[in-house]
Amino acid sequence: MIPIPAKFYCTRKFKKVTHCLFDLDGTVLDSEVVYQRAIRSICEKYGKTYSKEVEVDCYGATDRDLSETIVQRVLLPISVDDFEHQLTDLVGKDVANAPLQPGAERLLTHLYDSKVPIALATNSTERSVRIAAQARPKLFALFNHKVCATDPEVDRGKPNPDIYLVAASRFPTKPKPAQCIVFEDSEIGVKAAVAAGMQVVMVPDRRLDRQKTREATVVLRSLRDFKPEEFGLPPFPETPAKGKPASARIERDETRRDDKSENIETKKDKPIKPTGQLVENMARTSKMSKLRAQMSALMDKKVLAATSSVATR
């Protein structure tokens, strides 16, 4: 297995897009761990081992395809329907607590705020999506629409292109496949996007062999590494060192400038708060003023007396 490099690598030139489609499990939600834990629990219940090889081959599959693969390859003594039913129950209890993948919320919010149409296109069932959406209503409200493997218009799940083609067709502007970019984590999802004629950004599981990522347009370690401007999308706002957006910094600087202007204009009108030294100086000045007043009054009396004496003579 070849590790993914720190920086992404790409297999072809980027083309400008206008719409974005997101896979759910493993791409927006770190829910693959929920699925793998549930599958392992079912296998152990029947004394079977769920190998890493089978696990990797099941990444991104629909619940039905995944159930068929595991029942056959692990040799479980139950039907595919029984396995899928148990899987659905176990996953449904935990998927609401699945954490978001790094950079997912930032990217989705940025695209929504930039008025870039986004939609969810997943191999998960409608029930799983509904449970996840109920746990994060604000985040899932950012999507224009959601298309699941159980959608009536979807005949086949990934790796077939149906889910992505249906998702693209439901945007009001009906973009062409070439105008859409897909965000995926699995080889199955990448194949579906490529078959639909769309570019695809892949953030694979670190255990996935690099050879299984070759069909992706670009491979990233995290959604935090995605650069929207490379696909003609609005770039992320500049982020200063302290973590505040450039707009916030500019607004803060403008406020400071306004405050300085106000201080200059109103400085003469504002009372000066006296310091200790100033109070002492003012007291001393006041005392001297009283002495001057007394001396002036005394001099006035002497002048008046002298004047009266002259007049008497």
- The lowest-confidence range among 139-148, 175-184, 264-273 is 264-273
pLDDT at 243: 47
Domain limits of the chain?
A: 9-231, 237-270, 275-313
Catalytic residue among 23, 65, 151, 162: 23
Q: How far apart are CA 18 and CA 163, in angstroms?
A: 18
pLDDT at 254: 33
Over residues 280-302, mean pLDDT: 52
Peptide bond just before 159 cis, omega within 30 deg: yes
Is residue 162 among the annotated active site residues? no
Is residue 30 among the annotated active site residues? no
Catalytic residue among 25, 63, 151, 162: 25
- The lowest-confidence range among 64-78, 104-118, 253-267, 295-309 is 253-267
CB 183 within 8 A of CB 19: no
Q: How far apart are CA 273 and CA 305, in angstroms?
A: 47
pLDDT tens per residue across span 86-143: 888 887 777 788 899 999 999 999 999 999 999 999 998 898 899 899 999 999 999 9
- Helix or strand or coil: residue 214? coil
pLDDT at 185: 93
Over residues 71-84, mean pLDDT: 88
Over residues 305-310, mean pLDDT: 43
Q: How far apart are CA 118 and CA 168, in angstroms?
A: 9
pLDDT range class, residue 194, cuts 50, 70, 90:
very high
pLDDT range class, residue 192, cuts 50, 70, 90:
very high
Taking alpha carbons only, the member of 51, 63, 36 closest to residue 148 is 63
Task: Choose between 251 and 212: higher pLDDT.
Answer: 212
pLDDT at 23: 96
Q: How far apart are CA 74 and CA 45, in angstroms?
A: 12
CATH fold of 9-231 reads Rossmann fold (3.40.50)
CB 221 within 8 A of CB 4: yes
pLDDT at 239: 58
pLDDT tens per residue across span 167-188: 999 999 999 999 999 999 999 9
pLDDT at 33: 81
CB 41 within 8 A of CB 127: no
**pTM exceeds 0.85 for this model:** no
